[in-house]
């Protein structure tokens, strides 16, 4: 029974880690940053529509919740992906992945500023370590003399984890009232609509005449990294609990750096390794204060829902009391 969740979860970790190199490869082949984001979500949109229908939609959603969901979707699709794709024009896929790894720490920071989380000494230390790592990656990661051209890419990519952190904070009040997979699908569809202004008539003819390599890479992003990736993440989350899932997700930036070095021959300097290690350790330290208390309760709740047969559609009624279990779940879905 555990083999499918374990296999799908391991697969999605590798797929998400590889997505950064795929984006960089498409950019190097001349595909526009906005076109990459639009292409992957147009490919995934029919699947998200099916998932939303299969989950029963969002019955009785309030107008305020709908507005919050739409804004969250625009942030996670338009804000995140355009920032990531544009930033990768000017930096390596590995450095971009390390910047994105800051998402949980920024989510915690925004939650504290809004009074949604307590600011503990351990969280403060973790955030300080993580941001020190960001400073090292941004200023010294490329191994070149410090200049605006060197920090431009990482600073643009920083818009991605900021967008995603705001998405998490916006979505958190909805997690106790609606199904997580339905929220994921609905927010993704709302964000896809936000990308439509970038659609031009020439994109249709360009898609038809595009090289098969470009089409294959966009399909990788749309089918595997976006649609199936979110489904696999939810399967793993239900099977293993949020703590183990989030800890496993910390492997993604290291894998992304390795994949970029192997497939794109990106240099991996000692500063990238040192800064990346500080980012991952700092984020883990800051997040651990929230993740530890929920482990037993969340996994017990999952087992209880599975026995009642409500695991696929019923939202956890105590989700608002499990910030790590549910707030961390979307954190890893925007790769």
Query: What does R_g of the chain's alpha carbons equal in angstroms?
Result: 19
Tokens at residue 184, please? 């994921």
Give the DSSP per-residue string, 213-249: HHHHHHHIIIIIIIIIHHHHHHHHHHHH-HHHHHHHH
Nearest to 99 by CA among 114, 82, 87: 87
State the Cα–Cα distance between residues 120 and 292, nearest whole angstrom.
Answer: 14
Please report the pLDDT score of residue 198 as a whole number.
85
State the Cα–Cα distance between residues 26 and 24, nearest whole angstrom.
Answer: 5
Question: Backbone phi, then psi, for 280, in 5-degree steps?
Answer: -65, -45
Please report the pLDDT score of residue 248 as a whole number.
73
CA dihedral 54, 199, 15, 110 (to 10 degrees): -80
Please report the pLDDT score of residue 85 as a whole number.
97
Expressed as residue numbers, the domain containing 99 is 3-333
Query: How many separate domains does the chain show?
Result: 1
- Coil, strand or helix at 55: coil
State the Cα–Cα distance between residues 209 and 212, nearest whole angstrom.
Answer: 9
Please report the pLDDT score of residue 331 as a whole number.
44
Give the DSSP per-residue string, 65-112: HHHHHHHHHHIIIIIHHHHHHHHTTSS-HHHHHHHHTTHHHHHHHHHH
Q: Is the pTM of this model over 0.85?
A: no
Tokens at residue 318, please? 């105590």
- Coil, strand or helix at 272: helix
What does each of the 335 residues of the chain score in pLDDT, given as a tens digit? 466 667 788 889 999 999 999 999 999 999 999 999 999 999 999 999 999 999 999 999 999 999 999 999 999 999 999 999 999 999 999 999 999 999 989 998 998 898 888 888 888 999 999 999 999 998 887 666 555 667 899 999 999 999 999 999 999 899 889 998 899 999 999 999 999 998 877 665 666 668 999 999 999 999 999 999 888 887 777 777 666 677 777 899 999 999 999 999 999 999 999 999 999 999 988 877 544 444 333 334 333 434 333 333 333 333 333 333 333 444 445 56
Hey, how many other C-beta atoms are within 10 angstroms of the C-beta on 146? Answer: 11
HEC string for 200-211: CHHHHHHHHHCC
User: Crossing angle for the helix pair 121-140 and 148-157, nearest 10 degrees?
Assistant: 140
């Amino acid at each position: 029974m555990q083999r499918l969740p374990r296999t799908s979860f391991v697969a999605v970790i590798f797929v998400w880690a590889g997505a950064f190199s795929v984006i960089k490869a498409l950019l190097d082949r001349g595909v526009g940053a906005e076109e990459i984001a639009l292409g992957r979500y147009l490919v995934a949109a029919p699947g998200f529509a099916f998932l939303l229908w299969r989950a029963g939609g969002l019955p009785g959603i309030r107008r305020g919740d709908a507005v919050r969901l739409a804004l969250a979707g625009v942030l996670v699709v338009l804000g995140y992906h355009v920032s990531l794709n544009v930033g990768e024009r000017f930096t390596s896929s590995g450095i971009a992945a390390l910047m994105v790894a800051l998402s949980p720490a920024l989510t915690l920071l925004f939650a504290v500023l809004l009074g949604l989380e307590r600011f503990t000494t351990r969280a403060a230390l973790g955030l300080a370590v993580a941001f020190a790592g960001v400073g090292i990656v941004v200023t010294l990661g490329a191994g070149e003399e410090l200049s605006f051209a060197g920090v431009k890419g990482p600073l643009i990519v920083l818009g991605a984890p900021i967008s995603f952190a705001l998405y998490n904070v916006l979505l958190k009040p909805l997690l106790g009232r609606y199904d997580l997979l339905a929220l994921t699908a609905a927010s993704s569809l709302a964000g896809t609509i936000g990308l439509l202004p970038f659609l031009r008539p020439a994109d249709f003819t360009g898609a038809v005449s595009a090289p098969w390599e470009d089409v294959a890479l966009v399909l990788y992003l749309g089918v595997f990294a976006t649609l199936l990736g979110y489904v696999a993440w939810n399967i793993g989350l239900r099977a293993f609990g949020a703590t183990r899932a989030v800890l496993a997700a910390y492997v993604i930036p290291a894998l992304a750096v390795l994949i970029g070095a192997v497939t794109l021959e990106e240099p991996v300097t000692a500063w990238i390794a040192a800064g990346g290690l500080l980012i991952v350790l700092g984020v883990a330290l800051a997040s651990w204060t929230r993740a530890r208390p929920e482990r037993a309760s969340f996994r017990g709740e999952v087992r209880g829902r599975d026995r009642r047969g409500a695991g696929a559609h019923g939202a956890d009624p105590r989700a608002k009391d499990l910030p790590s279990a549910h707030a961390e779940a979307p954190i890893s879905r925007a790769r």
